[in-house]
Amino acid sequence: MLDSVRYFFAILSVATLPFAVGYWYLIHPFIGFWRARGPWVTYAAMLVVLVVNVAVAWNWRGPLFAVRYSVGPAHWVIAAACYVTAAAVQIRCQRHLKFRILAGLPELSPERHAGELLQTGIYARIRHPRYVSVSLGMLAAAIFCNYQSLWIITLLLFPALYGIVLLEEHELRDRFGQAYADYSRRVPRFIPRLGHSPG
């Protein structure tokens, strides 16, 4: 039973994680192109990319999941700790994020969905809590499933996520100017300062 659960989560992770990270590499560097076409065309194109990614993961599941390692109680405890921490961070993010922000509408259609610079709550402690949550979730999946291919993909996605952060910060500096520069100096990217009291 456990092996089946691990296998299912491994397929789900390989089918979705590269797309979730790659989505922003397709959006941020080509934002002018996508803005000219509008959100619905953009989402339709991204849906095609997702379907292709899922199809590749499914058709290559044999070689992708040929090498797996054993798991024991220590794996379950560490994976659970990562999942719980990721969920706690994500819940705190959700208090400040509307669906239009998660869907990228302020980037794709800034004239209709102007966003505000988030500086309260968890965003007063770290600038990119969503990426902290995603990173912990990816790590939890790799530990729990313990397939060689998932470890490789996870390790490749960490620097890819950092690249997205840099692209996003460039776009935020363009949108918010000096306000974002001041915020960046005040609040760290990923790890809150010990003893720092926001505001």
Per-residue pLDDT of the chain (199 residues; tens, 9 = 90+): 778 888 888 988 988 888 888 888 888 888 889 888 888 899 999 999 999 989 988 898 889 888 988 888 899 999 999 999 999 999 998 887 777 666 677 677 777 766 678 888 899 999 999 999 999 999 999 999 999 999 999 999 999 999 999 988 988 898 889 999 999 999 999 988 876 555 4
CB within 8 Å of 83: residues ≥ 6 apart: 136, 137, 140
Report pTM: 0.82
Q: Is residue 199 part of a domain?
A: no
- Report pLDDT for 36: 87
Q: Is residue 43 part of a domain?
A: yes
- Report pLDDT for 107: 73
Number of domains, the chain: 1
- Report pLDDT for 84: 96
Q: Is residue 193 part of a domain?
A: no
- Report pLDDT for 193: 82
Q: Is residue 123 part of a domain?
A: yes
- The domain of 59 spans 2-186
Q: Is residue 192 part of a domain?
A: no
Q: What is the CATH number of the domain that holds 24?
A: 1.20.120.1630
Helical spans, DSSP H, in the chain: 2-27, 31-37, 39-59, 61-64, 73-94, 99-102, 105-108, 129-145, 148-176, 178-186
Q: Is residue 71 part of a domain?
A: yes
